[in-house]
Amino acid sequence: MPDVTGLCEGDRVRVEGVEDSPLEARTYGDLLVGRSGVVQSVRGDSWALVRLDQVIEVHGHSRRRWLFAQADLVLLDVLKPEPVPVVHSGVALHDGVRVVHALKHWPRTDQEWARTLCGVGARPLWVADWPLPFSAALKDACPACRKTLRRPTS
């Protein structure tokens, strides 16, 4: 049985067995094995309260929540966040005011100017050998670059 210690609330799991689970789960193991659900609560690295996707009828009562040993569960649907493209910052002066722009491409370390999303030239901002990421939350961020970044790409 795979080791799945370290489950978190909200993880989707499938019941693979009931050997290490409490007596109640072992008693109804034939109804529970193979069912899937969402972890509602975790107690240490041992126990997980799971809300099953389907209701289980036990002695005339409907049950959805069952306590399982984490060793009896298999993690499903591990959601990996989609990588967010990093947009780097460049700075330019407009009428004597510093404006932070979003650069179109990753700048080279020897590059003094780069093209921005709004079409102007800007000096890339560096810390050591790394370009700084652009943040639309900056008060001096270019409004046109902000708008371009919010536009859906498809």
Residue 3 placed within a domain: no
Residue 82 placed within a domain: no
pTM: 0.48
Give the full edge-to-edge strand order of the sheet including 12-15: 61-69, 47-58, 36-43, 12-15, 73-76
* Domain count for the chain: 2
Give pLDDT tens digits for 93-150: 988 899 999 998 877 767 788 889 998 999 998 887 777 888 888 899 999 998 888 7
Residue 59 placed within a domain: yes
Residue 113 placed within a domain: yes
Are residue 98 and residue 140 in the same domain, yes or no? yes
Q: What pLDDT sits at residue 84? A: 60
Q: Domain range for residue 143? A: 89-149
Stretch 9-13: mean pLDDT: 89
Q: Which of 76, 99, 116 is the last residue of a domain?
A: 76
Query: How do 73-76 and 89-94 pair as beta strands?
Result: unpaired
Are residue 61 and residue 107 in the same domain, yes or no? no
